[in-house]
Structure 1
Amino acid sequence: MENGILTEAQQKDAELITLLLDKIVKKKGFENIYANAEGYETPAKIRRSKDSEEYFIPDCTGEVNGRKSYFELGMKSDNERELVTKWRLLASLANYKHGKLYLAVPRGHMAFTNRILADYPIQAEVVKL
């Protein structure tokens, strides 16, 4: 698993990403799957800005009917500002590529995820893990 902004801070569990892949990504028929997990190619790094060396790495990406979608684990984070920045960026990219941003939320993180989505203009489909 590669570390970008937030990847290390959130302590994303490889088992949760595998669960995300099995329960959502593969079930919905996505192809060309890239995931930040063992056994998969890592998704493309998304630079924070032109001048920045910092980058975000989506948890997973996939395509269906030529539409690229992004998948993220919706988990609590102390660094809320960075999380909002990442989700807004991924939602914008997904919209640009006629796809969606899916937030897969493990047990215990739903209230946090819903609060972020209510407070900020982020277009995302929330899916329980």
Structure 2
Amino acid sequence: MIQADKEKYRDILDSSVEYLEQHGYENIKADTEGYETPKSYAKKGSDISVTPDIVATKEGRKHYFDISLKSEKPKLLKSKWLFLNTLTALKSHRFRLITTRGHFKFTNDMLEDINLHDKKLIKI
């Protein structure tokens, strides 16, 4: 989810963190109250920074999660997903998308546009 939507969808972020805790993820870092904020990555030459919504570990492997919700700025969301996918591939981590009812089609269309259609979604 992009920074502009964080406040609007705070409840979905909190339920996603709960879901991950119930499924054995540890050392959870999330951009919400009560959790440490994940590391941000700044784009060189601009003021854009990319912060994954949730970072957690499970069985010794780091997982990056981004929450996929309908957005006013799909281009920014696509570039964030491509960056996180590339970053996780380089470091042998995992990148997953979390989505909710009403946002499946939007998410699948976006993944198709950027050729990440092989990504499995976590549906909450």
Asked if Structure 1 and Structure 2 have the same fold, meaning a TM-score greater than 0.5 normalized by the shorter chain, the answer is yes
SS at match of 2:65: strand
User: CA RMSD, aligned part only?
Assistant: 1.9
Q: Percent identity?
A: 32
The TM-score with structure 1 as length reference comes to 0.84
Deviation readout 1:13-64 (Å, 9 max, x if unpaired):
22111110111x22332222100011001111111x2222220221100122
2:4 alignment partner, SS class: coil
1:82 to 76, 82, 85: 76
2:36 aligns to what SS in structure 1? coil
Counterpart of 2:23 in structure 1 is 28
Q: Aligned pair count?
A: 123
Residue in 2 aligned with 1:108? 102
Question: Shift of residue 99 of structure 1?
Answer: 2.3
1:93 corresponds to: 87
* Structure 1: gaps of 5 or more residues: none
Instruction: State TM-score, norm by structure 2.
Output: 0.87
In structure 1, C-alpha distance between the alignment counterparts of 2:36 and 2:7, rounded to whole Å: 20
* 1:52-95 superposed Cα distances (whole Å, 9 cap, x missing partner): 22202211001223322111111111211100000111111222
